[in-house]
Amino acid sequence: MIDISSSSNKYQISHEQIFYRSQIISEETLGRIKSNIGELLSINNFFLANKNRHNALSFIRQNVSSTNLVYRVLFEIKIPSDYKFQKQRPVIDVTQFSSDEYTTLFFIGSIFRINTVIFDINNDCWIIELTLYDERTNEDFSQVFAFLNEHHTPITLANLLRRICPNSAKQFYKHLLKENSDSSSRLECYRGLGLCSYSCEDYEQALIYFEKALEMEPDDPLIKSSLHNSIGIVYAQQDNIDQAQTHFSQALKYSSLPLHIACAHYNLALIYGKQCLFDEELDHYQEAFEIRTNQLPSNHLQIASLFNNIGIAYSNLNEYDKALSNLRKALEMRLKLLPENHIDVARSYANIGAVYVKTEEFRMALEYFNKAQLLFENQQPIPEEDIQQINQNIKIVNEKLQ
């Protein structure tokens, strides 16, 4: 915490500076921003931006396509030369923790004035110009900022740092463990260390930290559920199927939030699929599907993923009509929600082709395999395993057609 805070002390400006952040937003959110030009916008999460406009535009052009449901936007954030940094440090230079140059963090609750919203034809995205708002100009926000000051805890900062640089976050969590005797804070530190280790693919160490957190016997059932889920994920990554199943079952037992319950069902379905227990796999996918369709928008990518996996489960049970119906729904949703060259679109084509092989409709299978192959070959980085599998499938189908 000392290192991060001290960096903000050095962050002073003598002239206007501009930072850029690219992302996608929903049609509804874009509409609200456009209809409130001149008004104020507050963010409800940490907000990372940097000074390189070209990199921000390149990232969004390469990774995200606009659709009728989501839009590409570039936020241009101005910090006026007369802006005085506040006690709660809403702006922090975190370049040392990031792989990008001149990276800046805007804190939860930072407020901006919406200046303009313009569509850039050349870059095929919306440009949203914001100015960091000086709270000193309006006392109405004093209570809001007082609340935010009280809730910026070291654990909050450690959790943020984990998203930027897991290795640095590890040191921060370890420092907090030495400084804290409070059991809930120590539990969060062990959990954070486990997540850092997992993201660095150090699965054995991740298990040690997650188990330490669980040994502290958290009172909150949701925390227990989350820890069991994390442990299950690590065991699944290690192909320790029995242990993964045990912990996912415990995650399901302790969870009371619908989407957490759906996540546990989904993970159990994956485990049963690996065991070739396809009836049980399908049951858990359908449980997850029922919950997520009630809790999420109908066009959510998690729904598409469930259609895809339910389709594969039906295929494994030799119920090919149901398999194709679900796989086509997954493909339709992915084409609407993702760039048309996205790897998940390619995998949807491949999955449909695999069902047509089972029904011995080889020309249809070849058509879908060819579409998948074209998309796989244009991915960066190249998905070697997917390409190897699709080439093998195409070879088999061509032999059947001869």
Give 377-395 pLDDT, tens digit per residue: 998 888 999 999 999 999 9
Q: What total of structural domains would you count in the chain?
A: 3
In order of 32, 77, 90, 129, the CA distances from 41 in angstroms are: 10, 12, 14, 11
**What pLDDT is stored for residue 250 in this prediction?**
97
Q: Tell me the C-alpha distance between 40 and 245, whole Å.
A: 48
**What pLDDT is stored for residue 142 in this prediction?**
53
Residues 20 and 99 in one domain: yes
- Among 164, 183, 217, give the residue marking a domain's end: 217
CATH code for position 375: 1.25.40
Residue 241 lies in a domain: no
- Among 141, 161, 188, give the residue marking a domain's end: 141
Residue 379 lies in a domain: yes
**What pLDDT is stored for residue 357 in this prediction?**
98
Span 6-33, mean pLDDT? 74
Helix axes 241-254, 221-237, angle to 10 degrees: 160
Span 211-218, mean pLDDT? 94
Residue 297 lies in a domain: no
Residue 3 binned pLDDT confidence (cut-offs 50, 70, 90): very low
**What pLDDT is stored for residue 6 in this prediction?**
43
Which residue's entry shows tokens 């804070």? 185
pLDDT of 300 over the 50 cut? yes
Residues 96 and 190 in one domain: no
**What pLDDT is stored for residue 51 in this prediction?**
84
| Weakest mean pLDDT among 54-58, 126-130, 244-248, 396-400 | 54-58
Residues 49 and 180 in one domain: no
pLDDT of 307 over the 90 cut? yes
Residues 9 and 125 in one domain: yes
Higher local confidence (pLDDT), 289 or 84: 289
**What pLDDT is stored for residue 247 in this prediction?**
97
Residues 118 and 63 in one domain: yes
Residues 90 and 110 in one domain: yes
**What pLDDT is stored for residue 225 in this prediction?**
96
Residues 15 and 137 in one domain: yes
**What pLDDT is stored for residue 228 in this prediction?**
97
Three-class DSSP category at 79: strand
**What pLDDT is stored for residue 272 in this prediction?**
98
Q: What percent of the chain has pLDDT over 90?
A: 53
Higher local confidence (pLDDT), 286 or 162: 286
- Among 90, 109, 141, give the residue marking a domain's end: 141
First-to-final CA distance of the chain: 68
**What pLDDT is stored for residue 97 in this prediction?**
54
pLDDT of 262 over the 70 cut? yes
**What pLDDT is stored for residue 31 in this prediction?**
87
Q: What is the mean pLDDT of the chain?
A: 85
pTM for this predicted structure: 0.66
**What pLDDT is stored for residue 183 in this prediction?**
86
Q: Tell me the C-alpha distance between 295 and 307, whole Å.
A: 16
List Cβ neighbours of 191 (8 Å cut-off, separation of 6 or more). 209, 210, 213, 226, 227, 230
Residue 36 lies in a domain: yes
Residue 187 lies in a domain: yes
CATH code for position 110: 3.90.176.10
Residue 5 binned pLDDT confidence (cut-offs 50, 70, 90): very low
Interval 53-102: pLDDT, tens: 888 888 777 665 556 578 889 999 998 877 665 544 456 666 555 555 56
Residues 157 and 104 in one domain: no
**What pLDDT is stored for residue 87 in this prediction?**
46
Residue 262 lies in a domain: no
List Cβ neighbours of 53 (8 Å cut-off, separation of 6 or more). 18, 20, 74, 76
pLDDT of 1 over the 50 cut? no
Residues 6 and 134 in one domain: yes
Higher local confidence (pLDDT), 87 or 229: 229
Residues 133 and 165 in one domain: no
Residue 380 lies in a domain: yes
**What pLDDT is stored for residue 95 in this prediction?**
56
Residue 104 binned pLDDT confidence (cut-offs 50, 70, 90): confident
Residue 315 binned pLDDT confidence (cut-offs 50, 70, 90): very high
Q: Tell me the C-alpha distance between 235 and 240, whole Å.
A: 5
Higher local confidence (pLDDT), 337 or 245: 245
**What pLDDT is stored for residue 2 in this prediction?**
33
pLDDT of 113 over the 50 cut? yes
How many residues are recorded in the chain? 402
Residues 52 and 158 in one domain: no
Residues 63 and 12 in one domain: yes
List Cβ neighbours of 334 (8 Å cut-off, separation of 6 or more). 301, 304, 342, 344, 345, 348
Interval 156-184: pLDDT, tens: 777 877 876 777 788 889 988 988 788 88
**What pLDDT is stored for residue 14 in this prediction?**
59
Higher local confidence (pLDDT), 171 or 396: 396
CATH code for position 194: 1.25.40.10
Residue 353 lies in a domain: yes
The closest of 279, 263, 166, 178 to 222, measured between CA atoms, is 263
Quote the domain boundaries for residue 180.
153-217
Span 287-298, mean pLDDT? 94
